[in-house]
Amino acid sequence: MTAIPTPEADATPADSTKATRSLRSGSLGLWHAVIISIGVMSPAASIFFNTIPQAQYAGLAIPLCYVIGFVVALLVANPYSELARELPSSGSAYTFVSEGISPRWGFFTGWVGLIAIGLGAPFTFMMMSYNVQTLVYRFFGFNLHWGFYLIVITLVVFTLSVIGARESLRVDLVFLSFELGVCLLLAGVILWHAGATNTLTAAPFSPGVVPPQGDLAIGIVLGVLSFIGFETATTLGEETNNPRRNIPRAVYASMIVIGLFYVIMAYAATIGYPGKIATGYANDPAPFDTLARHVGGPVFAAFIDLVGLFSFFSASLAIVNGGSRILYAVARDNLLPRWLAWTHPQRRTPAGAITLLCALGLTIGLGAGLLLTPLGAYTFLSTLDAVFILIIYTLVCLACILFFLRKQRAQFKLLRHGILPAIGTLISAAIFVAAIIPSPGSGALELVPVVVAVWAILGVVVSIVLRKQLRQMGESLAASPPGDMTPRAETAIPAEIVAEQSSVAQD
């Protein structure tokens, strides 16, 4: 077998062995980091699905929910941006909390991230498979079970992810361009019609249009949750060139692009929907399909249906790429099974972690979809995933304050490193409480608080088991300059794995 040429081809054996321990440094640019964050946010799917319950609670004020939600999300994005500038690492929140609070809390963040990532892949794989089944039956007349498509999609995502982030994010760029382009075309047509008929109005940006029995706060919470995933750019900190500059820019760029997209699409939907918002839209399983048929006919609606499909695919690919790098970083520190830190000998991608996430996507997606139906499983898994991510957001906001107070006091800025992260901490914690107490629903949703409590307790137990590794990690952090992950990165990978990678690369 001939190895794919790499920059390490002419290196000495020692240098080659060392190179296989890490991801491919400097191989990605700013746009790759922007795309991975936009992909995980799955903008079209979020606006298609989240606006349905928002219509029930906020009525015509859905756009107002996204304006306020955008501001709130920026408060949470600030700590990620500030910490990514100081701590460029694939570990993202795990690294930030380890450095800012303590290795024990860092492990807990990684533990929560493990289940959040493990849930994200299954429900995106599953919903895409279910949509493929529906569209194939509608357009071609044959009805294969969605489980078949789930297997195919998992294999495609696995292959693209192992080949490399650069290549898979290029695929994501194509799908996202189509997704955003078609959606904005629909919004443009709706706004043009509204302008021609003098029905443009600023009413959707006023709290006065909330239904009497509605709740603007719940609508805002749903708006904030639509931004989950913006932080994924930080997982490319070890592969992006000039990460201290480009990763913070990517976090804000993705937020601004999608924030504007959400506001435009929500406004177009509320003024263009052919019926009452709080009753008709809120009970329409596919309101954007209805909108597309209303202004462009069945062909336009078919394109909107494809957009939903592509949105889930780009999300699943971005989730596996970003999530695998977090698992890789935690395993590299000997806090998860070591095989999760195994990288492909030639592609330098976290192949071990990618394999786990795709396996979870397949098994959990099939199991939950068959047990609860795909739509029921999507609601349960996505709600549970959001609740876990809110825990991570709260810890990262707190870690930002403590990191700059303890380790970078000379750089501490009251607004950026004190006031804004404090507000972000309170908001994230408040949304978490609002989402989980009282129980977020009936049926399977009643289990959300139980699953969260059980997983948190297991995390505490595992951290006790790993207390020796966590103590050593704390000593290593204390002896190293802030943000210097090199000592742990260089010693964590077992010699037998390094030897295996080197042997394959030279085969």
pLDDT in tens, 127-185: 999 999 988 998 888 899 999 999 999 999 999 999 999 999 999 999 999 999 999 99
Say whether pLDDT at 2 is over 50. Answer: no
CA distance 315 to 43: 9
Angular region, 164: left φ>0, alpha ψ -120 to 50, beta rest: left
Amino acid at 365: G
Cβ neighbours for 13, distance < 8 A, ≥ 6 positions apart: 502
What is the CB-side half-sphere exposure of residue 229 using CA atoms within 13 A? 31
Tens of pLDDT along 79-112? 999 999 999 999 999 999 999 999 999 999 999 9
Say whether pLDDT at 487 is over 70. Answer: no
pLDDT of 4 reads: 33
CA distance 13 to 144: 51
Distances (CA, A) of 42 to 227, 254, 288: 9, 11, 15
Residue that wins the pLDDT comparison between 375 and 311: 311
Tens of pLDDT along 441-482? 566 778 888 999 999 999 999 999 999 989 988 888 877 776
pLDDT of 230 reads: 94
Tens of pLDDT along 239-298? 999 999 999 999 999 999 999 999 999 999 999 998 889 889 999 989 999 999 999 999
pLDDT of 495 reads: 43
DSSP 437: S
Please state the separation of Cα 25 from the chain's center in Å: 22
pLDDT of 341 reads: 93
Cβ neighbours for 460, distance < 8 A, ≥ 6 positions apart: 108
Expressed in angstroms, the distance from the first to the final Cα of the chain is 6
Angular region, 8: left φ>0, alpha ψ -120 to 50, beta rest: alpha
CA dihedral 182, 185, 187, 191 (to 10 degrees): -170
Q: DSSP string spanning 206-256? A: SGGGS-TT--HHHHHHHHHHTTTTGGGGGGGTTTBSSHHHHHHHHHHHHHH
Among 342-351, 352-361, 433-442, the minimum mean pLDDT is found in: 433-442
Neighbour-count burial of 498, counting CB atoms closer than 10 A to its CB (0-12 exposed, 13-18 middle, 19+ buried): middle
391-426 b/e (C-beta count within 10 Å ≥ 16 → b): bbbbbbbbbbbbbbeebeeeeeeeebbeebbbebbe
Helices (H) and strands (E) in the chain, counts: 19, 0
Among 320-329, 442-451, 482-491, the minimum mean pLDDT is found in: 482-491
Query: What mean pLDDT comes out for the span 334-362?
Result: 93
Rounded (5°) CA angle 175-180-186: 130
Count of beta carbons in the 10 Å neighbourhood of residue 298: 9
Query: What mean pLDDT comes out for the span 363-391?
Result: 91
Q: Taking Cα atoms as reference points, which of 259, 279, 281 lies closest to residue 269?
A: 281
Find the radius of gyration of the CA atoms of the chain: 23
Query: What mean pLDDT comes out for the span 59-63?
Result: 94
Query: What mean pLDDT comes out for the span 408-432?
Result: 93
pLDDT of 484 reads: 58
Percent helix, strand and coil across the chain, each to the nearest 5 = 80, 0, 20
pLDDT of 435 reads: 79
What is the CB-side half-sphere exposure of residue 505 using CA atoms within 13 A? 29
Residue with tokens 């000495």: 12
Q: Taking Cα atoms as reference points, which of 262, 279, 218 lies closest to residue 48?
A: 262
**Which domains are present in the chain?**
25-468 (1.20.1740.10)
Rounded (5°) CA angle 230-236-242: 110
Cβ neighbours for 410, distance < 8 A, ≥ 6 positions apart: none
Contact 45, 382 (CB under 8 A): no
Neighbour-count burial of 196, counting CB atoms closer than 10 A to its CB (0-12 exposed, 13-18 middle, 19+ buried): exposed
CA distance 492 to 340: 12
Contact 80, 87 (CB under 8 A): no
Count of residues in the chain? 507
Neighbour-count burial of 212, counting CB atoms closer than 10 A to its CB (0-12 exposed, 13-18 middle, 19+ buried): exposed
Residue with tokens 């095989």: 339
For residue 28, give the 3-state DSSP assignment. strand
Contact 424, 75 (CB under 8 A): yes
**Tokens for 11?**
């290196």
For residue 197, give the 3-state DSSP assignment. coil
pLDDT of 52 reads: 92
DSSP 205: G
For residue 42, give the 3-state DSSP assignment. coil
Residue with tokens 């939950």: 368
